[in-house]
Amino acid sequence: MAHSVREQILIALRQRTWYSGQELAETLNISRTAIWKHMQTLKEEGYQIISNKKQGYQLVDEGDLLTPIAIEQWLTTARLGRHILHFEELDTTQRIAHEQAQQQAQEGTLVVCDHQTNGRGQLGRTWHEAKNEGIAMSLLVRPDVPMHQAGQLTLVAGIALAQSLRTFDVPVTIKWPNDILINGRKVAGILTEMQTEADRISSVIIGIGINVHHEQFPEGIKDRATSLVRESGRTFRRAEVVATFLNRFEQLYTQWLELGFGSFVSEWETLADRLHERVTLRTRQMTASGTLLGIDETGTIRIETETGETRFHSAELIY
């Protein structure tokens, strides 16, 4: 990705404690006044930069921004997240990601925003977002697999998200198919939407919402939702969380394309919430209760009911 002058300034400031205005001006081939103006804009954006006449500029703190340059510093991927579109406010990142897909955007394009005003959830629900508190992102991928396998990406993304959150010492589990929980409360959700052309997948948009800093939630979800900060008491940089997910997901996405979903079954089960416990599950036609056995090599959930093992392709666990 080509970097703007401001991004180049940031990259330079990250490399040393102090950088003089003169050196920066020479390195970037612009005037010292231009450097000074860029510094003012960076400060307005949330970067904490101090300066003095003798030593020049110092980047003290990068704040908690979700900008491409903030995410990029933690990114080790080859393809995913190498084209990032950041918005301060949007109705839903899914809409922009679908538009990008139609405009032939590259695989791995990521749409992120600080304030999502009309976030979409599973089953036509809404996804609550508070400004600068959480992460709302949509990732565009173009897997060359049969259409019926696209839904497995929800599970692969769930594994990647759970594993990456665990690297921050947060004890998350996965509630099949797409909820990430901490101590039984939902901290993140995944919404996978597919676009097709004739009988093949043209793109899949993986939408992920993560509650990061939230201290409170609105009536209606406040007993069921939580955030990373609330459960762990530590601080998080949203950009680092996004990049850590992308780094992990790229590895698992490649594994899924090469080896198929069967290679994820045991890993999913180690992360599963209420494995071997009694659960209730609802489909369009019926409600069933039984012991959660796990999933099969296609991602279908397995429940031991009174009549024996039953598999459900599409259902919702109720708890």
- Residues forming the site for ligand BTN (CB under 6 A): 92-94, 116, 119-122, 125, 127, 136-138, 178-179, 189-191, 207-209
Q: How far is the CB of 11 from ligand BTN (least distance, A)?
A: 28
Nearer to ligand BTN (CB atom), residue 151 or residue 207: 207
Q: How far is the CB of 123 from ligand BTN (least distance, A)?
A: 7
Token pair of 24 as six digits: 């920066």
Token pair of 278 as six digits: 């009694």
CA separation for the pair 36, 234 (Å, rounded): 34
Question: In this chain, which residue has its C-beta nearest to ligand BTN?
Answer: 189
Determine the 3-state secondary structure of 114 from DSSP.
Answer: strand
Nearer to ligand BTN (CB atom), residue 201 or residue 242: 242
Q: How far is the CB of 246 from ligand BTN (least distance, A)?
A: 14
Whether the CB-CB separation of 7 and 30 falls below 8 Å is answered with: no
Q: How many CA atoms lie within 13 A of 122 on its CB side?
A: 18
Q: How far is the CB of 201 from ligand BTN (least distance, A)?
A: 19
Whether the CB-CB separation of 153 and 256 falls below 8 Å is answered with: yes
Nearer to ligand BTN (CB atom), residue 19 or residue 127: 127
Q: How far is the CB of 297 from ligand BTN (least distance, A)?
A: 24
In angstroms, how far is the first alpha carbon of the chain from the final one? Answer: 44
CA separation for the pair 244, 251 (Å, rounded): 11
Residue 63: Cβ within 10 Å count: 13
Nearer to ligand BTN (CB atom), residue 175 or residue 230: 175
Nearer to ligand BTN (CB atom), residue 136 or residue 272: 136
Q: How far is the CB of 162 from ligand BTN (least distance, A)?
A: 14
Q: Which residues pair with 110 in a beta bridge?
A: 84, 139
Element spanning 64, H or E: none
Nearer to ligand BTN (CB atom), residue 70 or residue 97: 97
